[in-house]
């Protein structure tokens, strides 16, 4: 635990020294939100509530995906430079360097998520959920955050170039578009509908939205939990295995 | 045997079909400077990686500080420090933060004092609070070595410590290595520069194509050369010409005579049996 804590401090410093990562994770989604919420908001007919209220969960996921690219790059950088050999030749816990990056990623994403939700209020976001609803929303977003952070670590370990690390993470930015994030799934062409319905972003978005807007809870909450925990277990296990294999 | 801090016997390592280390054996006395000399691709880095527990051998045995590098890796890591070929520093952190990070990881009781001490030792006080990305190559290397010394290791591995350094920084590194050895640290360095090995090392092993082809002190190695000539020197060329004439005529006026010892370079090239490709290896 001691080693992991020092590594978390290290990774946090790295995050703080590249403020562009935070900025990118906030600026792009923010403009998307303004653009969609104001320009398209008037023509989007999604029922009795505002379009901005509809898209906030999707925007948050995009923001998290964008910021997490940098986690993959940071892991790639560690693995490709001499620093990893230094850590591995020291009497410290080997995986602590990964734990450090994961924790820093989760903290950074939590901050950018808070900023995105905060700025959403400026452009007209009016959530209806009560305290419990917000706890649920925060819980789901945090689980998603953990899952995507470990995916980024796995991809960072697998990448051969820094661009590769970013490329691996790019689909996570696109996936919310092909989900229930920006348009109700029922409005999509049939072939896309199937994909949109069963990919992990949709239940995460639906469950978050239901909580934020005080809609009735449905199955999406359980599917969101299953996906997030499943992805975390998968990514964590693979990451540790890949990391160990690269020791020989 | 007991004062050997590193013992390597019949070490083998291959990557897929490529046999990098075929049969490597040597031993290193405590507190000495040992140079593993070889050209690119000879297996120097592979040897260092095995001894610093980063890589596992396919055969043979190696022990460092009395511990087996495969079975007692954790204990080996406690007594060594590695400065690899590529600077192992965090670019976006400052020099001070880099040192402090290492100090905290190895749980030094007085991290702050140690950080200040090593910053001073390596003339990095002025740059201490700047990000490493602004450092020159020499400063980076100094910080890198300082990070390795934070834990006061018994054995310091330096993999090509002066590759890419300018002559001034190279000399400074040599002085530092000699200083460390004087204080009792065993230094294991790899180099492709014969001059470096000759200047620094108490013992040299020449690694070529995965085998140790010669081992000994610098002067030892030189004596191994079969063809030893002799050389007479004069104070001037004119004198030499005259002397030669006189020598032929009368046999006098030789200013000095000394054996023509080969340079380590000659030894290396003779043993390796290959033509030198030029000085500027990567």
- DSSP line for A26-67: HHHHHHHHHIIIIIITTT---SSS-HHHHHHHHHHHHHHHHH
Q: Which of A82, A86, A93, A243 to mutate to test the interface with B (most CBs of B within 10 A)?
A: A86
Helix, strand, or coil here: B70?
Answer: coil
ipTM value for the complex: 0.83
Residue B277: predicted pLDDT: 45
Listed as ranges, residues in chain B with pLDDT below 70 are 1-2, 225-235, 243, 248, 250-263, 273-282
Residue B276 has what pLDDT?
42
pLDDT at A25: 83
**How close B48 comes to chain A (CA, Å)?**
11
pLDDT of residue A235: 96
The residue written with tokens 């260092």 in the block is: B48
CA–CA dist B144, B160 (Å, integer) = 13
Which residue, A182, A211, A210, A215, is CA-closest to A196? A182
Q: CA-CA distance, B187 to B54, in Å (whole number)?
A: 18
Contacts of A161 (CB under 8 A, 6+ apart): A76
Which of A22, A79, A85, A88 to probe the B interface (max B CBs under 10 A)? A85
Give the gap in angstroms from C-alpha B91 to the nearest C-alpha of chain A: 9
Half-sphere exposure of B108 (CA within 13 A, CB side): 18
**Pairing of the two strands B80-83 and B155-159:** parallel
Contact of A10 with chain B, judged by CB distance below 8 Å, is answered with yes
Which residues in chain B are closer than 8 Å to A99, comparing Cβ atoms? none
Of B82, B97, B104, the CB nearest to A89: B82
What torsion, rounded to 10 degrees, do the Cα atoms A92, B33, B85, B56 define? Answer: -50
Contact B88 A18 (CB under 8 A): no
Characterise B211 by phi-psi region: left (phi > 0), alpha (psi -120 to 50), beta (else): beta
pLDDT for B278 = 43
User: How many C-beta neighbours within 10 Å does residue B271 have?
Assistant: 15
Residue A247 near chain B (CB below 8 Å): yes
B contacts of A91 (beta carbons < 8 Å): 74, 77-78, 106
Give pLDDT tens digits along chain A (248 positions). Answer: 889 999 999 999 999 988 888 888 889 888 888 888 877 777 766 777 788 888 999 999 999 999 999 999 999 999 988 888 899 899 998 889 999 999 999 999 999 999 999 999 988 888 888 899 999 999 999 999 999 999 999 999 999 998 998 999 999 999 998 888 888 888 888 888 989 988 999 999 999 999 998 888 888 999 999 999 999 999 999 999 999 887 65
Question: Do B164 and B138 touch, CB atoms closer than 8 A?
Answer: no
Q: Is B257 on the interface with A (CB under 8 A)?
A: no
Chain A contacts in chain B segment 134-153 (CB below 8 A): 144, 147-148, 151
CB of B218 closer than 8 Å to CB of B203:
no
Q: Residues spanned by CATH 3.40.50.300 within chain B?
A: 4-224
CB of A91 less than 8 A from some CB of B: yes
**Record: contact B101-A2, CB cut-off 8 A:** no
CA distance linking residue B230 with residue B198, whole number of Å? 21
- At residue B257, the pLDDT reads 53
Give the three-class secondary structure for A75: helix
Please give the distance of CA B104 from its chain centroid, rounded to a whole number: 28
Distance from CA of B71 to the nearest CA of A (A): 14
Q: How far apart are CA B27 and CA B31, in angstroms?
A: 12
Determine whether the interchain pair B106/A2 forms a contact, defined as Cβ–Cβ distance below 8 Å. Answer: no
Question: Which chain B residue has the Cα nearest residue A12?
Answer: B93
pLDDT of residue B25: 93
- The answer to whether residue A3 neighbours chain B at the CB level (below 8 Å) is yes
Contact B5, B65 (CB under 8 A): yes
Whether the pTM exceeds 0.90: the reply is no
Q: Which of chain B's residues have a Cβ under 8 Å away from the Cβ of A92?
A: 105-106
Query: What is the pLDDT at residue B271?
Result: 74
Element (H, E) at B260: strand B256-260
B4-224 has which CATH code?
3.40.50.300
What is the DSSP-derived secondary structure letter of residue B94?
B
């Amino acid at each position: 635990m001691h080693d992991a804590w020092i590594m978390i401090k290290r990774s946090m410093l790295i995050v703080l020294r590249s403020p562009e990562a935070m900025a990118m994770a906030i600026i792009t989604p923010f403009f998307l939100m303004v653009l969609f919420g104001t320009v398209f908001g008037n023509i989007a007919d999604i029922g009795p509530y505002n379009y901005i209220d509809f898209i906030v969960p999707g925007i948050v996921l995009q923001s998290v995906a964008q910021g997490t690219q940098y986690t993959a790059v940071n892991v790639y950088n560690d693995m490709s430079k001499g620093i990893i050999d230094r850590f591995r030749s020291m009497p410290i816990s080997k995986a602590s360097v990964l734990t450090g990056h994961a924790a820093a990623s989760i903290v950074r994403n939590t901050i950018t998520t808070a900023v995105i939700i905060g700025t959403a209020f400026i452009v007209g976001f009016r959530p209806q959920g009560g305290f419990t609803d917000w706890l649920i929303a925060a819980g789901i977003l945090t689980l998603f955050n953990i899952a995507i952070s470990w995916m980024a670590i796995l991809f960072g370990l697998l990448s051969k170039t820094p661009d590769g690390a970013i490329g691996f993470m790019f689909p996570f930015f696109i996936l919310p578009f092909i989900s229930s994030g920006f348009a109700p799934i029922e409005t999509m062409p049939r072939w896309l509908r199937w994909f949109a319905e069963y990919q992990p972003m949709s239940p995460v978005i639906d469950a978050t939205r239901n909580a934020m807007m005080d809609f009735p809870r449905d199955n999406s909450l359980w599917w969101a939990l299953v996906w997030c925990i499943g992805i975390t277990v998968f990514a964590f296990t693979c990451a540790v295995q890949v990391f160990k294999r690269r020791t020989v | 045997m007991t004062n050997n801090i590193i013992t390597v016997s019949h070490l083998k390592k291959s990557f897929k079909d490529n046999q990098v280390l075929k049969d490597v054996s040597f031993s290193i006395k405590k507190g000495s400077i040992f140079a593993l000399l070889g050209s690119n691709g000879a297996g120097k880095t592979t040897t260092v990686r095995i001894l610093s527990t980063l890589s596992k051998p396919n055969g043979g045995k190696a022990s460092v500080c009395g511990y087996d590098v495969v079975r007692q890796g954790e204990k080996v890591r406690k007594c060594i420090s590695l400065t690899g070929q590529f600077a192992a520093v965090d670019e976006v952190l400052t020099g001070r933060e880099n040192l402090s990070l290492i100090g905290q990881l190895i749980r030094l009781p007085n991290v702050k004092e140690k950080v200040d001490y090593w910053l001073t030792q390596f003339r990095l006080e002025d740059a201490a609070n700047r990000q490493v990305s602004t450092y020159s190559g020499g400063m980076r290397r100094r910080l890198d070595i300082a990070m390795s010394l934070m834990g006061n290791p018994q054995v310091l591995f330096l993999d090509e410590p002066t590759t890419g350094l300018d002559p001034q920084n190279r000399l400074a590194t040599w002085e530092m290595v000699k200083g460390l050895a004087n204080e009792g640290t065993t230094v294991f360095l790899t180099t492709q520069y014969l001059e470096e090995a000759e200047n620094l090392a108490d013992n040299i092993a020449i690694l070529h194509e995965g085998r140790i082809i010669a081992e000994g002190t610098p002067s030892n190695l030189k004596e191994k050369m079969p063809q030893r000539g002799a050389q007479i020197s004069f104070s001037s060329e004119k004198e030499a010409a005259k002397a030669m004439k006189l020598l032929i005529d009368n046999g006098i006026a030789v200013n000095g005579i000394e054996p023509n010892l080969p340079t380590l370079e000659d030894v290396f090239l003779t043993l390796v049996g290959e033509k030198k490709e030029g000085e500027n290896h990567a």
